[in-house]
Structure 1
Amino acid sequence: MAAAAPAPAVELLELKRVTVEPNECPLVSPIGVKLDYELSSEVTGGYWAVFYVIDTVRRRHLIQLGTTSVGDLAKGANSMEFSAKELNFAGVKASRLTTAGMLTCALRRAKGDAPADGDEELAAVNMVVQVETASGKPAGKSTEPAELVRTVFDPLA
């Protein structure tokens, strides 16, 4: 007799709504993210880490935007709000900034009282970010990040 197939894994997080403001604005503008979601089980010591990823052929840039505070998240409906005053792209060439980026909100479980490297990642919400020059022309060596415009796409759309 054959063994029964394992039950499919239950997703921890079901995303209900995403709001990113402002959108279609200068790349370096302040950013606010709100996620409405449901958890299939309680998460103790949970927090959200928010970062921007730029992948190019030569290099991966990971720009940390910040974290929410650590706390227990109840099973069921929850929301997360995060804001950053600016996106700092110091050290990243403008030509690399015009590569599609990824705004990521990662739900993590803290090992201690505060976020730290090595915390367990439980789920992630990834949002594609299109970046282009305000003029529509290709970015050059003298292009500044403030001249670039970001559009964050809703992963639920």
Structure 2
Amino acid sequence: MADAGPSISALSAGPNNCALEEAITLEMDFTTPRELPAGSWRVRFVADTAGSCKVVELGSTDAQRYPEGPGKMRFHRDSLDVMHLQRAILCNVGLMTATLLDGDDEVLEVPMVVHVTPDSAGKLFRSIYNPLE
């Protein structure tokens, strides 16, 4: 029987229900069934519509050794710089993905739905949905 893959036991992404461009912090508790000698997390925002898919690289954590068993990650960015995307693409449901890498090998991807809506004045607000809830 094959070993179970990595899993996520806790996830926090925020702030939530705020201006789209506000700072973002992502924290996760995870377990990996094997050592990852060059483990890092890559975080992206993906805006996908019927006619277009735009991927914005938000950043990565520094590579480190993750031993077999439980681990933690924290990612912070002072602003979510996606305002260069067309408004029609942003005002939709998108994804924020956090991908656990070991070197260049993808080990686990955690997708989080991001709903972007304008308020009555047209300012864009984001809501990030936790896939564990």
Question: Fold match, TM over 0.5?
Answer: yes
Q: Name the residue aligned to 1:149.
A: 125
Deviations 1:89-119 (A, max 9, x none): 2431111101101010001122xxxxxxxx2
More strand, by proportion: 2
- Give runs of aligned pairs for residues 6-155 of structure 1, distance below 5 A: 7=1, 9-110=2-103, 119-135=104-120, 147-155=123-131
With 79-88 and 11-20 compared, the bigger mean Cα shift is at 11-20
TM-score by length of 2: 0.94
Judge conservation of contact 2:21–2:83 (CA < 8 Å) in 1.
no
Shift of 1:44: 1.2
Give every structure 1 segment of 4 or more consecutive aligned residues whose post-TM-superposition deviation is greater than 6 Å: none
Give the share of equivalent positions with the same residue, in percent. Answer: 28
TM-score by length of 1: 0.80
- Work out the CA distance in 2 between the residues paired with 1:98 and 1:11: 37
Point out the structure with max Rg over C-alpha.
1
- Work out the CA distance in 1 between the residues paired with 2:4 and 2:52: 31
* Aligned residue identity for 2:47: I
The answer for unaligned runs of 5 or more in structure 2 is none
The answer for unaligned runs of 5 or more in structure 1 is 1-6, 111-118, 138-142
Q: Name the residue aligned to 1:115.
A: none
